[in-house]
Structure formats: structure tokens, C-alpha cells
Structure 1
């Protein structure tokens, strides 16, 4: 019996090739989108879930309430926190501080002190207990003792192979970090998997930096995190309350910042805080991806239902013959569901192949390590089975009811009215409206995202970001001694307009926050501020405006401070009130006068509020050179000259540079990827909707062929025929637009609220999206309408 159903289904589909092609194409695309999105979501939700103790691992984060009532959160903690926690909490089985130092210079020397190789691996400093909390595979060395010596290091396998050719040869070798620390390789770790926050190339110990000696409970740096392993059975809420008391114990009573625990699973998904890889997959983003996947698949199913019910017109006589020969309704339903299952199964197989082909492209767009192996996971096959059953029932059940309900006598006489044949034209209209609600929502949403990205690109950040290149500078005494010479030599290079030495550009994604005392007050301010170490030419190089007072002096023998408008406002003063007032940080170790107030600039991205900033001229902190090139400069020639200067003065260093505008563009990488993904999905939604419209228009042309012939005989022009076919679709798309507009406005308004600096949603974007959908639909429908209008009425009026 089953064999007969399948054989009959195959023959029916083969006889209706165009119908089968349209449905397979639509379902294949819809299922492919589901598969690709599922792989993306699975990857994003798998971060650090391979650790055996993941349910007991938490990150300690800092909570910063403001007087306005708003609460800010940061992943960073003061440096003394990891040392103090084990003494105050018995609930913690293990505690480890972690510092991501970024890419640091590592050199290998021969026996005579000459450099053989130099690299810049990603270096982490941590406490040895880190490896009791997290699971990483040791290839060599003992995790209990590998970092017990402050002058020891552990390398990732790929790093060891890069240095020594074979990782087995790395054990016991000595490498030099930052031309200062001689470290012995005491362990080799397998490379961290891609789905972990800790993508280290090289690991060194906290003890080397003497972190335990730091007593500053106010200063925090984004690169410093703290992780804890709870003992079994501990209550997180109770510990969070104890952390509030812990904060009060060690900090100034007026300092309102506290700490709380954040589960390991939330580190990659909590958008309130950042992480070491710089990307957060928020629940809202994951939910939106699921919704898009479901809607794209629904559009494909809607196409199937529309085409199947329209195709029923051509199958009326077939159904009538089957009923006369004894087929009952259940047999006809099973027959129709068998055809649907065959289409869905074919689409599933094609979708799997298409997903394999498109994953590399999506991987590049999203900058995610997606590969074909992810489609071989058992949960993907479970998903495919669920899709098969759901789509077969969803797309095939209703049409099977309609077809099996035909009256055999009327069907054989072809006397079934169109509306009765398909269960009412209103269903098809409703499905078309549903399709275009989704399509227009994706089009308009994509346009709004692109507008916001364009706003980020064009909006002023309070400084010049074009034609500025930042070159890395070693943070040692030798480099500091050459600053004056380097400045003079750089200014003689053709194409160089301004030069400034600092610890970072005005905008950085790794800010150092610290508290300060103002005007000899006994206590530090209630708020920390972003710290910048700059020279006297910083303002000129980046074109930062001075609104009160003067610039820093050229000499670095006298400590002076510049502050921004936001810092002045948080002090409750006016710019003139802070000039010539004393300011000190780090318990008075650095102090000087405030000599100027600068206009606010973005110390981070435009997604965030402007931070309070102070700048001072401590050259020992300089680690970057900002070089502003003249308009129309020969950039390659200028960079070549700069690299030559660096090679002559720092032969042991690796010359590295980055254009400031490119670095700032990285801040919006996630939003840019989201926009690209939306463009792809909007294009697929448009294609699927047009595919359905094309099929419907084709069948409409067949159904109304005699009507068109009569109208032409009575004098109707091709334009009238085109209007006849198009007016219904224009009405349906208009209804979809009316429904989609408030939905899109609501969701995009909430998305834009994630940004401090944002666009206002303009009505023109809705008009543009609606008109785009209308034009695309009319082009699709008109192809069939023109074909019907151009037929000879003599041919169209002939009897069947």
C-alpha cells in the first residue's frame, strides 16, 4: 500500500513539474535558513559549556549605581579582589584573577643574546588556580606546579610549534617577554577551542606582575576579571548579599560600587558586560534569529499551501475519478500527504547540501568559525526530523482536506467554483498578506539598521578619526628616552602633519577607570573616570577642542591634568570652577593642577554614554604614537618611512600599526554583521514571496483564461488586463504594510534604545520599504499578467 502511494505521488509530481519545482525551491531555501541559523545559535550558546564544573563557575562583576538611579555594570574588578575573596568567603572553592594583556612581544635569543625569532602572542596573566576551575587539556607539564614559579610560562600548542617547530622541544626553553622578563616554558596546553572566552596563546602567572601588592580598591581595568568556583550547594543570592558587605568592608563608605556573581553561561550573553573576545550574543539577538528562521520557513509553507490549493483546480477531475473508483477521503488525504512528504524530503536533502555550501560564506560574514562538521551533530538530525514532520503536516494537511472534500460528480463535470474548490479565496489572501508582513518587516528593519550604521560612521566623536595611524610603542625606559628624537624624526617624514605620544587614542575599547581626589578633599569622588596619559600635542593631533583654560605644557617634569565636560558636570561645577584646582590619584602618588577643560569626546563607542575623562602627561605610560597624515599624502610611502624609522630604533620590536577609523569601525562589527545577515534574510524572504506570487499568478492566468478572452473581445486593452491581475495583489500588499508598520516600529524602536546615540525612526523608511515590496510584487505578477493579456482571444476561448 505504501509503495503504491509513493509511486502515485512520484507520478503526480513528475506530471506537474513546475508546481513541484516551485515548492521544492521554496522549501529548500526555508529549511536551509533554519539549518544555518540553528548552527549559529548552537555555536553561540556553546561557549565554555565544555567545562565539567560549568554550573559552579561564576565571574565576579562590578555594579556601579549612579545618583540618577541608573545602574552600570562592568566585567572588571579592582586588582585586590581575587586576593581578598578567599579570606572572606568559605563558599568559594577556588578563586582566580585573570588579566588579558593583549598581544605582547616575545623573543627567542641564541646563546650570545641575539634575537633569533620574535612574535606577538595573546598573553594572559592568571593565578594557578585557574586550571582547577577550568578544563583545558595539558599536553606536557603539571597544572599543579607549572605556574608555581613567577618566572614560568605555559604555551598553547600552536604557539609552541610556531616558536620551536615541534611543541615537544618547547619544554624547558626560555623566552623573553616584553624584552624584560625571562620565562621558562613549564607546560604545553592544547589550543583552546573556538567556543571559549579564553583564547590564550601564552599564559604567565599573576605573581610576575606582583598584583598581590596592589591595594587600590577604586581603579578598575577592563582587562582584569575574576572567576570563582563555588562549593557544591551554595546559594548565589546569599553570596551576592555577602558581596555587598565585602565591598563596604574594603572600600570608602561613600563609594557605592559593589560586586555580584555572574554565571559562566551569562558571560557570553549578558549585554550589560563585555568579555575577552569582545562579542556578546544577547538573548534578544538569539530570539530574533529564531523568529527569523521560523518566519522564513513559514513563508515557504505558505507558498506550498497557496500553490497546492491553487493546483487543486487542475486536479479536480483526477480526484473525481479516484472517488468514483472507490477512494475514500482518508486515502486521498494520505495520498496528498505522501506527495507533500516526498517534496519535503527532497527539500531536506537539498537544504542539507545547500547549507554545507553556504556555511563558509556565512562564516565569513559573521566572522564565526562555522564548519561542515557542525551539520553532522546528532541534534541537527533531530532538528531535520522535526522539520520534516512539522512542514509535512503544516504544509500538507490543509490542502489534503480541501482536495479530498471535492464532490466527485461536480469535479468530473468541472463545475466546482474556484472559491469552493480551494476552501475560499480568503485563505489564500490571508496567506499572501502574512508573507508580505514578514517580507516588509525584514526590508524596513534592514533599512533602519543600515541607517543606524551610517549614523555611527558619520556622527562626530569629538575628535578627528580620518587619516590618523596609531603605531605601537614599547612601554620601557629605552623607548621613553627616545620620544623627543622620534617626534623630531617623524615630523620630518613627508606626509606627516601631527605627532602625539599617549597610552591610547581618544577612543579605546580597553579603558582604564580610576578614582581621584579633587581640590584636596579627604575622599575620592563617587565615580571613577577614564584615564588617558597624553603629551602636549594630543589635542592638536586629534583635533580635540579646548573650551576653558590652556593645554598641557611641553615639559613632562610638571604633572598637569586636562578634564572633559562630563567630569566637570559630575563634580557639579562649571569649567571655570575647576581650573587651577589640585587633583591626585592613587593615594596622592600622582598629583597636579587642572589646567584645562576639553569638549566631550567618545572614549569608547557611540553606543555608550560619554564617560568622564581626565588626561595627564606621565610619559612612562605612553604605549602608542598617533600620527596624523596630511590630506592627499602618499600613505604607503609615509608608512614605509615610519616602519624604517622604527626598525632602526627598535630592531627587537615588531612594527605594528592600525588606522584609527578602522579600529573604531570594529566597535560596530556586531551591528554590521547583523545588518548583513538581515540583508540576506530579507532577500530570501522577498524571493520566497515572489516565488509564491509567481505560482499564484500562473494558476490565476490559467483559471481566468476565458475571462481574459471575453474581456479582450469586448475591447479590453492589455493595460486593463494587467490592472485586473494586479489590483488584488496591490490591496493585499497594502494591508500587509498597514499591519507590518507598527510591528516594525515597536521592535526597531526597542533595538535602537540599546544605543545612547541613535537615529530617530523616520516615516520615509517605511514608505521606501513598502514601495520596494510593492514594486517587486508587481514585477513578479506582471510577467504572468502580460502573458495572459497578449494571448489571442480565439485561442483562449476554445473549449477545454
Structure 2
């Protein structure tokens, strides 16, 4: 019986090819969109979910308030020993200290040493790390002693194979010397397997904690908080985070003993292990990449679900609109003894068959989507049809779409009375009215959603254009910033400067720590006194550079002068924002005033016009610019000829670099690209939103095209009579288009306030933004009307230009 239903369903699909095509295309796009989103959500939610007792593991992080406000994912190094001695509800404690990028040298007998620089994530820790994160399985070495002594290192299996190759046994290499940063020689004492599930713990080299001071890590220290100093605890069974509040208060009090003079307070808080991958404020680990944003995933999931919904709406609309064409089939089936249940099964079989066909088309579309959005999804994410979860998601989507799209048509069509069905009198006035209202409501929903996407997408594009075009207060074009190696001699840097200055394509050079705007910054607490003599506390951003810093970046000086090239003079230049925060009415009033930083006093000798030192997500910060001779960055200004051949100039810069620093890969970036990268996340969002908008419009138009086509078929004779009676083509197109375009206008009125609210919520993340005006929503409505009119008018014009004789002969 079931196969009979499938056979009949397939014949019905073939009999109405155009409507089947519309449904299959719409469902395929909707299913692939939803499928890819499900894969993305599953992928992001899969990080670090399989750790033993993972639900009881927490990271301790620092939250500052007062003169300095912010959070830091790290702690002081003294936190770990204090917790071991005083936290009675803690089962395990571990600390590790991220060493960042490292140069690794592998010494081999009778061969030149092999040097590695890329893909190295070294941390200093002890055996407690592997005790808490037991997913690292030991291959070689003793877990209890491999990190107990000084100058010991344990590698992951991947790092071991990278350093020694695939043909070497693990045990044979124990005792090998591995040198870090040219001078820190360690002995290989163990090898562990990589974590077998998705994880953010992608560390490769584990160096014994007794070696910490060689990496300039002070153990049991309470002075500085570093984002690379991580502290994790595992609570005892039955202990809740709230139970830890008194103990964390004790940790805070211990910190305060060392920082009694500070003008800020610290609070230690717990972050669940499951939150590491999703917290944008704290991030994951140093150099661990971007976090996944839960809110963004939820929004994209909602958009994907709505796209799938409008594809299902097309099916419902077209099936209920075609009810009269199947009336006699239903009547005959009922007269011959078919029950309503059998008819429902028949229609549900048909509604499930279409999504199955659509799913086959959705798979290549999904693969294309993953490639198209390669800058948005993780490179580790793929479409794996052997994965049971992937198959389950696809089967679930097919079943859900088939039932959701087919239930209403099945139950509506199956309830027709046989006598009325055979006479094609299937609707009472009430029934017909309900069906029409449903179709109109669903069509309004489709175009409301489409217009919300259009408006939001336009808003995002305008905002990003605004961010890209806004004057930042400094020169950012035609400038290349090169970062010099850490701990290299100043002699090499001066040699590099001399050779770069000889290149004719470079018109100016500046040495500093950071360009005017960057993704990293330095800040400190400064004190000043207002006119009444009251002490003011300021959290101030700092820039350090030589005396050419302001002129190189064309930053405008509005009062006073530049600092002199002498560190001992303690002269600073500040920005307008800092002068205003100190209470000065004019920039000139701040000149020759003093500010203090710790126990050092500085004289303000100049004030510069405000410039944006961070992305436009943030307001301009109070800032000081101080003299520094030996900055870590070299900025190169290209002349007009050099700019025209930027790639050739970069090749020359690389050649000079390799002559000075042959063992260090060059790190450089064009400053305008660095600034534009502030908004890379928003650009990816626009790319996704634009694609979703186009998909929603296409699916909505497909549905509208189907409804217009069916309406035209129903009104064929009416159109013929009107033409015979003298109606023009224009009047017939107007008649056929009016009802559908009215629905689009209603959708515009519904979409405008929703899109405005969503747009304003998105713009809250920016300190500087555009104001969504009436033009945005007028443009959105006009675009939607034009798209809908083009869809409707094409069919209406075709019907209006048909020979009326053929229409009047049609039975």
C-alpha cells in the first residue's frame, strides 16, 4: 500500500511539473540553508564537551573596576598555590603559562640543527595539567615525573612527528635536547596523544614549571595579571559556583594586600569550561583565534529556519490553491471507499516525496555553501555523510519539512464531501474565505521576512561604508608597518632602517611601538588635579614613538609643541579627550600642566587633535604620546610610484629583511588593511545576510510566480471576455497585479518597524554609526514592489496578450 502511495504521488508530481519544480527548488535551497546552519551549530557546540568532569571545570578570570575597568582571562601566578592551600571545595587545580610564538631548534647527531617557527604553541605547566585534562593519553614517559624537574618538555604526538618525522619511535627520542628561543635547552621526557575530540586546547609543547623563570614568568607572584597566565579548577562533586564565593573573596583580599595603593579593585570570577569557546569578552587563549558568538549563531539559525519556512509556505500555498483541480480525484476516491485517513496518508506521501527529491539537490548546494563561506566557517568543518549525526540532521529536516508542509493541505483536501467534490463545488463561502485568508497571510509573511532582510542588509552595508570612509584623524593610506623581532639587537634594527631608507620607493620612515590605530594597545593609570585641586584618576591609552611620530601620520597639533628626544625630560603630548577629562576648557590650558604615573611626573607640552586609536566600535580614549627611541614597529610610507607597484616594493622590503634577519620570517601589514580588518566580522555577517536575503527573495518570488500562474489559469476565460469587451493589456496586467502587490505593501508596513528595531540593536555595538532614516525603508519597499511586480507582471502580460478566442474555447 505504501509503495502504491509513492507511485501515485510521483505521478501527481510529474503531472504538474512547473509547480513541482518551484517546490523542489525552494525546498532544496531551504533545506541546504538549514542543514549547513545545523552543521555549524553542532560543530561549534562540540568543543571540549568530552572532558572527564568537564561540567565541574572552571577557569578563574579577573574583573577590574574603578579607575581601570575591564576583564582579563588570566590571573596572577600566585593564585594557583593560594587555591591549593585554601580552597577546600576544589578537587584539582592547574596553572599554565602561554609562551606565545617560539623558535624551536632540534639538535640532531651528525646533522645541522633543524629550526621550526610555525604552528608551535608552548606552555609552561606541570603534571596537574594532564591530571585535570586527562584526554591527553601518555604514549611515552612517566606522567608523575616528566614535568617535575627543570628544563623538561613533553610533546603532543603531532608536535613529535613534526620535529622528528614519522619513522622514529617515541621512546628512542626521550632524552633529546630541544632548544627554545636559541638559549633555553630542554630535555624531551614524554609524549602524549592529541586530544581526540574538538578542542581549543591546541598546545603542542609542555615545558616544566621549574623552567618558568627562563621564560620570564615569576611564580607565586601577585603583581601583574597576564592573559597568558591561566588558572583552572575542578570543583568537588556537589559543589556549585555560588559555594565558591567566600573563597574567591579570600583570593581577592590576598591580591589587595599587594595592591593596597591601587585605584582599582579586582574581583575573581568563574567561567565554565563550556563557555570558553563562546565568550567574546574573555576570548579563549592567547593566539587561539576568534570565539564563536552564540548570539550570532542563534540569529543565523533563526534566519535559516525562516528561509525553510517560506519554502514550506510555497508548498502549502500552491497545494491549497490547486485544491479544485484535485476535487474530482478526491470525490472518486471517497465514492470508491477510500477513508479520510487513506487520503491523508496519500497527500503526506506526496509531501514527503518532494523534500526527499529536494534533499538530493540540497547536498551539493550545502557543499557549495561551505566552500563559499570558507572565511566564516572553520576549516576543520566538513560535510561528512558517514557521520550518523549528519545523516540524522538531514533525515530530520526532510521529515520535519514534509510533515510541516503537507499536514495542512492533506487535512484540508481530504475533508471534501464526495458529492460537492465531483461537482467541483468543494468550498463553502466560509471555507473558501479561510483558504484565501491563509494564502494571503502566508504570502505577507514571506515578503515581510524578505523585506526585513533587505532593510537590515542595506543598513549593514551603509554602516560598513560609513566606517570605511570616516576620517580617523591620521594618515592610513600608503603605509606599511613592519614588526621587528623581539630581543634582537638594536644594531640590526638600525642596519635595517638604513637599508630601507635607501629604497627610492620609500619616502619616509618612522619607528614606534604601535601605529595610531591598532588591534592591541597599552594603557595605564594617570593622575591629574583639576582647578580646585582635587585628584582625578584616568585610565589612559599610551602611544610611544620617535619625534617624527605625529608628522609621519599627519596628526594635527592644536596646542603647544612636540616632546623633545630625551627620555629623562618626561614630556608627553596628550589628545583633546584627555585634556577635556582633566577639566580644561581649551587645549592650550592643558599645556605645561603635570600628570603623574605611579611615582613619576610628566609635563604636558602639547595637545593633538583627537584621532581614533581603536575601531569605531569604541569612543576615542584619553591618550598620551611619549618619546621612545627603540620601538618595535617600523612604518614605511610609500611614494606615489611605490604605491602603484606595491607588490614590487614589498618584494624589495622582504629582500632587505632577509639580509638582516635571515632566521625570522617578516611580519608586515598595510595600515589601511589593518584598520579595515577591524570590521572583518561585520563584513562576513553582511556576506551571510546578503546571501540569505537573495535566497529569501528567490523563494518568495518562486511562490508568488506559482500563485500568479495558477490564478492566471483560473481566470483564463475571464481575461478572454474582458479582451473581447475592449480591455487593454495594461488594464488586465493592473487587474492581475493589484491583489498581489497590495500584499507586498502590507508586508512593507509590517517589516519597517521590525527592521528598524533590529537595525538599532545591531548599531548599538558601534560608538559611531549612521541613523536609519525613512529613505532606508522607502528603498526597501520600492525594491520589494519592483521585484514582486516583475514576477507578477510577466505572467499577467503573457495572459493578457493571449488570443481571446483560445481563452473562450477553454473548458
With normalisation by structure 2, the TM-score equals 0.88
- In the TM superposition, what whole-angstrom CA distance separates every residue of 1:492-548 from its partner, at most 9, and x where no partner exists? 2222233222333333334444445669xxx99866544444333333333334444
Contact 1:255 1:526 survives alignment (8 Å): no
Tell me the residue number matched to 2:315. Answer: 304
| SS in structure 1 at match of 2:88 | coil
In structure 2, runs of 5+ residues without a counterpart are none
Tell me the residue number matched to 1:40. Answer: 40
1:207-218 pair list within 5 angstroms: 207-212=213-218, 215=221, 217=223
Please report how far the alpha carbon of residue 285 of structure 1 lies from its aligned counterpart in structure 2 after TM superposition: 1.4
1:695-710 pair list within 5 angstroms: 695-710=706-721
Distance 2:648 2:789 in 1: 54
Please report how far the alpha carbon of residue 295 of structure 1 lies from its aligned counterpart in structure 2 after TM superposition: 0.7
Contact 1:222 1:511 survives alignment (8 Å): no
Distance 1:101 1:786, change over 3 A: farther
Distance 1:123 1:544, change over 3 A: farther
Tell me the residue number matched to 2:104. Answer: 106
Asked if 1:370 is matched to 2:381, the reply is yes
Distance 1:407 1:54, change over 3 A: same
Please report how far the alpha carbon of residue 33 of structure 1 lies from its aligned counterpart in structure 2 after TM superposition: 1.1
Distance 1:702 1:31, change over 3 A: same
Asked if 1:198 is matched to 2:207, the reply is no
Please report how far the alpha carbon of residue 386 of structure 1 lies from its aligned counterpart in structure 2 after TM superposition: 3.8
> Which residue, out of 263, 268, 278, partners 1:269?
278
Moved more, 141-150 or 457-466: 141-150
Please report how far the alpha carbon of residue 652 of structure 1 lies from its aligned counterpart in structure 2 after TM superposition: 2.5
Please report how far the alpha carbon of residue 88 of structure 1 lies from its aligned counterpart in structure 2 after TM superposition: 4.4
- In the TM superposition, what whole-angstrom CA distance separates every residue of 1:529-586 from its partner, at most 9, and x where no partner exists? 444443333333333344444334334566554444445555556754474636345x
> Which residue, out of 711, 714, 722, partners 2:725?
714
1:21-100 pair list within 5 angstroms: 21-66=21-66, 72-78=70-76, 80-82=78-80, 84-100=82-98
Contact 1:220 1:512 survives alignment (8 Å): no
Distance 1:410 1:608 in 2: 68
Asked if 1:283 is matched to 2:294, the reply is yes
1:198-597 pair list within 5 angstroms: 198-204=201-207, 205=209, 206-212=212-218, 215=221, 217=223, 220-251=225-256, 252-253=259-260, 254-276=263-285, 277-373=288-384, 376-416=386-426, 420=431, 423-476=434-487, 478-515=488-525, 528-555=539-566, 560-569=571-580, 576-577=589-590, 579=592, 581=594, 583-585=596-598, 593-597=603-607
Contact 1:106 1:120 survives alignment (8 Å): no
- In the TM superposition, what whole-angstrom CA distance separates every residue of 1:731-761 from its partner, at most 9, and x where no partner exists? 0011111111111111221121122233222
Distance 2:573 2:737 in 1: 67
| SS in structure 1 at match of 2:331 | helix
Distance 1:402 1:34 in 2: 28
- In the TM superposition, what whole-angstrom CA distance separates every residue of 1:676-724 from its partner, at most 9, and x where no partner exists? 1111111111111111111111111110000110111111122112111
Distance 2:723 2:145 in 1: 92
Tell me the residue number matched to 2:782. Answer: 771
Distance 1:678 1:708, change over 3 A: same
Contact 1:97 1:226 survives alignment (8 Å): yes
Distance 2:637 2:96 in 1: 35
Distance 2:475 2:93 in 1: 43
| SS in structure 1 at match of 2:264 | coil
Distance 1:532 1:82 in 2: 34
Contact 2:590 2:604 survives alignment (8 Å): no
| SS in structure 2 at match of 1:471 | strand
Distance 1:179 1:616, change over 3 A: farther
Please report how far the alpha carbon of residue 224 of structure 1 lies from its aligned counterpart in structure 2 after TM superposition: 4.3
Asked if 1:610 is matched to 2:620, the reply is yes
Contact 1:363 1:369 survives alignment (8 Å): no
Tell me the residue number matched to 2:688. Answer: 677
| SS in structure 2 at match of 1:735 | helix
Distance 1:92 1:208 in 2: 30
Contact 1:101 1:122 survives alignment (8 Å): no
Please report how far the alpha carbon of residue 433 of structure 1 lies from its aligned counterpart in structure 2 after TM superposition: 0.3
| SS in structure 2 at match of 1:372 | coil
Tell me the residue number matched to 1:3. Answer: 3
Distance 1:4 1:194, change over 3 A: closer
Please report how far the alpha carbon of residue 774 of structure 1 lies from its aligned counterpart in structure 2 after TM superposition: 1.6
| SS in structure 1 at match of 2:634 | strand
Distance 1:4 1:149 in 2: 76
Moved more, 746-755 or 415-424: 415-424
Please report how far the alpha carbon of residue 22 of structure 1 lies from its aligned counterpart in structure 2 after TM superposition: 1.9
| SS in structure 2 at match of 1:257 | strand
1:142-221 pair list within 5 angstroms: 142-166=142-166, 168=169, 171-191=174-194, 195-204=198-207, 205=209, 206-212=212-218, 215=221, 217=223, 220-221=225-226
Please report how far the alpha carbon of residue 415 of structure 1 lies from its aligned counterpart in structure 2 after TM superposition: 4.5
Distance 2:619 2:75 in 1: 20
Contact 1:561 1:594 survives alignment (8 Å): yes
Contact 1:480 1:619 survives alignment (8 Å): no
Contact 2:101 2:122 survives alignment (8 Å): no
Distance 1:705 1:366 in 2: 50
Contact 1:312 1:421 survives alignment (8 Å): no
Please report how far the alpha carbon of residue 201 of structure 1 lies from its aligned counterpart in structure 2 after TM superposition: 4.4
Distance 2:69 2:565 in 1: 40
Please report how far the alpha carbon of residue 660 of structure 1 lies from its aligned counterpart in structure 2 after TM superposition: 2.5
| SS in structure 1 at match of 2:504 | coil
> Which residue, out of 766, 771, 786, partners 1:760?
771
Distance 1:395 1:757 in 2: 44
Tell me the residue number matched to 1:133. Answer: 132
Distance 1:393 1:438, change over 3 A: same
Moved more, 205-214 or 767-776: 205-214
- In the TM superposition, what whole-angstrom CA distance separates every residue of 1:211-230 from its partner, at most 9, and x where no partner exists? 2258564x545444433333
Contact 2:92 2:235 survives alignment (8 Å): yes
| SS in structure 2 at match of 1:426 | helix
1:609-758 pair list within 5 angstroms: 609-618=619-628, 622-633=631-642, 634-758=645-769
Contact 1:406 1:421 survives alignment (8 Å): no
Aligned residue pairs, count? 788
| SS in structure 1 at match of 2:59 | strand
Contact 1:58 1:229 survives alignment (8 Å): yes
Distance 1:202 1:172 in 2: 15
In structure 1, runs of 5+ residues without a counterpart are none
